[in-house]
Amino acid sequence: MLQNKGQSAIELIIVVGFFAFAFLIFLLVIHQNTASQRYENRNILVQEIALQIQQEISLATNSINGYSRQFVLPPSIAGVYYEANIIDGTTIYIYTDDEKHALSLPVSNVTAEVIIGTNTILKINNSVLLNP
């Protein structure tokens, strides 16, 4: 009789351990899935911001002298801060502070300093100026 109680206790421990392990694996799979989705979402948002800047510069380049416009860049990308720079007047480079996301795109020749927030773009004497 005592042996049956001991065997039942061991079986209970095995069953509870198995379900705890299965639950832990389930949580791990869900965590991996949501982390992957967050990563992909941030990649898409980085691309959208880079394309927005590229399109604003392209629009100014193709406009007449005297063109002026303001556009706003968000302060963060899905909760992660980022920076955007114009390199040598021909490339927009965006990267997140966590160094997990980055993108560069070509742009027309522009004299620029990108500001996170409100940006002003102008075309004066056939030159495009971003935040002069």
| Whole-number average pLDDT of the chain | 92
Tell me the β-bridge partners of 121: 69, 130
The per-residue pLDDT for range 13-36, each reduced to its tens digit, is 999 999 999 999 999 999 988 889
**DSSP symbols for 46-102:** HHHHHHHHHHHHHHHHTSPTT-EEEEE--S-BTTB-EEEEEETTTEEEEEETTSS-E
Q: How far is residue 121's CA from residue 43's CA, in Å, rounded to a whole number?
A: 25
Tokens of 26: 């389930």
Closest residue by Cα to residue 124 from 72, 52, 60? 60
Position 94 scores a pLDDT of 96
> What is the model's pLDDT at position 49?
96
Cβ neighbours for 13, distance < 8 A, ≥ 6 positions apart: none
Average pLDDT over residues 93-107: 94
Beta pairing, strands 118-124 & 68-72: antiparallel
What per-residue confidence (pLDDT) applies to 63?
Answer: 94
Q: Please report, to the nearest 10 degrees, the dihedral formed by the alpha carbons of residues 120, 124, 129, 132 taken in order.
A: -70
Per-residue pLDDT of 49-69, as tens digits, reads: 999 999 999 999 999 999 999
Confidence (pLDDT) at 69: 95
